[in-house]
Amino acid sequence: MRVAVVGATGNVGTAVLRALAAEPAITSILGIARRLPDTGAHPYAAAEWVPMDIATSADDTVADDAAIDRLATALTGADAVIHLVWAIQPNHDREKMRRTNVEGTRRVAEACARAGVGQLVCASSWAAYSPVDDDVPRDESWATGGIPSSHYGVDKAAQERVLDELEAAHPELVVTRMRTALIFQAGAGAQIARYFLGPWVPLAVLRPGALPVLPLPSHLRLHVVHADDAAEAYLQVVLQRVRGAFNVAADEVLWPSDLARVLDHGRGVEISPRLIRPLVHFAWRAKLLASDAGWLDMAMGVPVMDGSRVREVLGWRPRHGAEETLREMLEGMVRREGTPSPSMRPRDKQFRDAADIGGRHREHTIPGDVMAAHIPPHLDGRLLGLYLADHLAGATGGSNRIDRMAKAYADTSLGPELARLAAEIVEAREALRSVIEALDLPQRPLRQAATWVGERVGRLKLNGRVVARSPLSPVLELEIMRSAVNGQLGLWQTLTDLADDLALPRERFEELAEGARGFDARLERLHETARATAFTVGTKVGAGS
């Protein structure tokens, strides 16, 4: 049996690969991922790999159809496809997340139908269920409307509708929905800490027994399942070719008293969720916490799951208890455990989710999870560092120049467009700075300082006076800026080529390259305006409108 795993490098994908590799009935495994893992390491060595981004943006139906066709070609010959791709971060970018979570599922579903795949097993969730206000266990027939305030629950519910449409259009395709609880394992500790807590929460306090007292929202309830147990459930639905939905969770539900017993020897204080929710919300807004308040709403509102069906139909039994799984995950978070996979590597650096640029708050300098960013052995890190540092120095000089131009010509016809360009060019410089930080490379501030001094010296005449504002000044300065942005275009093209090796988001560099082309076109239009009257006697700067 040939099984393809879409999203085979994450928490669940890694565990599923382990389960598939240990099963004699699985004769070949295809791994599909946007960024490839160390294919020589266990369990990734068990699969053959195809790099592919199922959420790549498409401007029209033709491009979207081509993306589905590429995926269908890769899936041809697979008996079953396990779809695990899901974005939890960056959760401030809802459009990007929905493109991955919902549109990505639609593409996988369409590709399975085109490729003639026999079964699609899709990672749904406990979060897909509609909210309740009681503790009565619900089976798989409960409504899947999601928790309205939870982006995770809303997208899981939307994913369920995609699967409904697939089943209606292709009844011959076996569609299986795995409505799992929160999936934990020690090897995902660094990733889970990054996705749910962020860089500002001290992980040492999570070590079991470390806290003196644990404040928790009253009536909080958590379903969890160990990654290896979840993977066994995925394996069984493939081997038994069963359609429908399955609730997959450890036997026990974790209540506040259980969490307190794990984290602080049982000393818990229950607090009204209404008091805690605003704190979570504003901590998320301030980028101090990675999880938004929707996760709290989900933990308070989703139903207790009835897991009878998965046990009766598949004969599945969890080997790990809920409390044992939670303890293992917390220890893994404290130790920052990971695997040699892009999203699972235990790194501490990531692109900044926001930067204060020019006095304005700008989000998503480089969006996405880049904890895996690294320089592989076959690339010369010293040369790459020099290359990026030189570009950062040049970008600093260019940013300073166009910012000064925007101020100097603010009262002319050139002013408004120069101001817009200045803000965007500064943002592009900050994107480069984020790349350097993510790769742990030096920024070489002396080079930037030298560029800063050179840019200011260049403003002077030979007699030491500042260049007077004349119609010729913007012509010359715009020509300098055009050279600068064309050099920056080369930088983004280079990083696009290196993106997969560096485990960085290729699509973002493509966007930045396109932005650099736009800068040049806009500067050319300004240059055309400036040069139209630059040499005419008596003309003022910007008179050409």
**pLDDT for 13-67, tens place per residue?**
999 999 999 999 999 999 999 888 888 899 999 999 998 888 877 767 888 888 8
- Residues in contact with 126: Cβ distance below 8 Å, sequence separation at least 6, in sequence order: 179, 180, 181, 182, 223, 247, 249, 302, 305
Residue ranges of the domains in the chain?
A: 2-335, 354-532
Mean pLDDT of 335-351: 72
Q: Which residue has the higher pLDDT, 287 or 391?
A: 391
Q: How many residues does the chain have?
A: 545
What is the reported pLDDT for 97?
A: 84
CATH assignment of 2-335, among 3.90.79.10, 3.40.50.720, 3.30.43.10, 2.40.160.20: 3.40.50.720
Mean pLDDT of 363-383: 65
Residue 347 banded pLDDT, cuts 50, 70, 90? low
Cβ atoms of 238 and 82 within 8 Å: the answer is yes
Taking the C-alpha atoms of residue 485 and residue 233, their distance in angstroms, rounded to an integer, is: 53
In this structure, of 240-254, 304-318, 372-386, 514-528, the range with the lowest mean pLDDT score is: 372-386
Residue 206 banded pLDDT, cuts 50, 70, 90? confident
Q: What CATH code would you report for 354-532?
A: 1.20.1260
Residue 329 amino acid letter: M
Residue 185 amino acid letter: Q
Q: Is the pLDDT of residue 366 over 50?
A: no
Tell the residue number behind the tokens 């066709």, with chain if given.
Answer: 69
Distances, alpha carbon 474 to alpha carbons 74, 396, 538, 545, in Å: 53, 19, 16, 13
What is the reported pLDDT for 313?
A: 96
Q: Is the pLDDT of residue 123 over 80?
A: yes
**Token digits of residue 85:** 């791709």
What is the reported pLDDT for 242?
A: 96
Our measurement of the distance from residue 245's CA atom to the centroid of its chain's CA atoms, rounded to an integer in Å, reads 27
284 phi and psi angles, rounded to 5 deg: -70, -45
Considering the entire predicted model, what is its pTM?
A: 0.66
Tell the residue number behind the tokens 């704190």, with chain if given.
Answer: 279
pLDDT tens digits for range 144-153? 999 999 988 9
What is the reported pLDDT for 86?
A: 86
Taking the C-alpha atoms of residue 447 and residue 451, their distance in angstroms, rounded to an integer, is: 6
Q: Which residue has the higher pLDDT, 117 or 429?
A: 117
What is the reported pLDDT for 160?
A: 96
Instruction: Let me know if 336 is exposed, middle or buried by CB neighbors in 10 A (0-12, 13-18, 19+).
Output: middle
What is the reported pLDDT for 430?
A: 87
Taking the C-alpha atoms of residue 438 and residue 450, their distance in angstroms, rounded to an integer, is: 24
What is the reported pLDDT for 306?
A: 95
| Average per-residue pLDDT for the chain | 84
- Residues in contact with 88: Cβ distance below 8 Å, sequence separation at least 6, in sequence order: 97, 152, 195, 196
Cβ atoms of 85 and 54 within 8 Å: the answer is yes
- Residues in contact with 28: Cβ distance below 8 Å, sequence separation at least 6, in sequence order: 2, 3, 48
Q: Is the pLDDT of residue 77 over 80?
A: yes
Q: Which residue has the higher pLDDT, 19 or 541?
A: 19
Q: Is the pLDDT of residue 303 over 90?
A: yes
